[in-house]
Structure 1
Amino acid sequence: MVVEEGKSGEGKKGNGSKTIEQIDLYSPLYLYPSDSPSLTLMQITFSGENYDLWADAVQNGLNAKNKLGFVEGAVKKVSVTEGEEETLDSVVWRQCNAMIKAWLSNVIEPRLHLSITFSGTVIKVWKELKEHYSTGNAPRVHQLKSELNDCKQAKNQSVVEYYTRLKAI
């Protein structure tokens, strides 16, 4: 994740040259200059009742930013033991974690912010939201199947509108 480049008159490492650490452009730890805490990943705001739709949109947005691994657990926290100097990876991991938490806050209704404020890492926030709001339970599945069964196209409804309603269910 860290790329080292030698800096010297000849462009080679050694003989008094300095080493500069950089984050690889394709690393999930890389933050682009356009990334900011005020960024909105998508237009859907989580209200507490639309978790599945919201989560899918957030995952799509994070995937586009190469940050999906933070919520899926693929990008592990880079820890530093007490007394050791922080590495570039540990500093950048903390920055990315904070940035993604800010992005999530931007697409969650303010009344729900306290539920994520003190969670720490993004993966903890993601797991807590999924645990509390995901609709993967039997009563909800039954409710959706009933809605699907009862769904009929209204006389003044276009095929596109009807199809969209079916897809939503």
Structure 2
Amino acid sequence: MTGSEDVSTSGKDKATTPSFDPDSPYHIHPIDYPRHMHVNDSLNDNNYADWSREMNDFLVAKNRIGFIDGTIPKLEGDQPEYRAWQRSDAIIKGWITTTMEKDIRNSVKYATTVQ
């Protein structure tokens, strides 16, 4: 092995690890952090339709809508990609709850998954 090869600690090539593949829904870019607001207005009692449309578009653009619509199912702890799934789910929960007013956020922040 040469010093120029890039191998993760588990021995897998980073290019084949989902969290390093930019096309993977498990990929986390350095600018993807949970407390960043991604819609124009916080969800309140009067703007669900607009908020939902903006959040949906954002999640489609980030390749994460599958966590919401169920096409990316919850993985179990013994599955190889569980940690990557868990990280992505946590980030999406952060994105969503950050864009809610406090009263609404308090009613959903203990959900076990983003779906």
TM-score, normalization: structure 1? 0.57
Alignment partners' CA distance in 1, 2:102 and 2:65: 23
Q: What's the % identity of the aligned pairs?
A: 25
Letter in 2 for 1:118: Y
Gaps of 5+ in 2: 6-10
Q: Deviations over 1:13-34 (max 9, x none)?
A: xxxxx43352222011111111
Greater helix share, 1 or 2? Answer: 1
Q: 1:93 aligned to 2:75?
A: no
Q: How many residues align?
A: 105
The residue number in structure 1 matching 2:25 is: 28
The residue number in structure 1 matching 2:39 is: 42
Alignment counterpart, residue 12 of structure 2, candidates 19, 25, 44: 19
**Rg larger in 1 or in 2?**
1
Q: Which has the higher contact order (CA 8 A, sep 6+)?
A: 2
State the 4+ residue runs in structure 1 displaced beyond 3 angstroms.
18-21
Q: 1:117 aligned to 2:109?
A: yes
Gaps of 5+ in 1: 1-7, 12-17, 124-169
Q: Structure 1 pair 117/72, CA: closer, same or farther in 2 (3 Å)? A: same
Greater strand share, 1 or 2? Answer: 1
TM-score, normalization: structure 2? 0.81
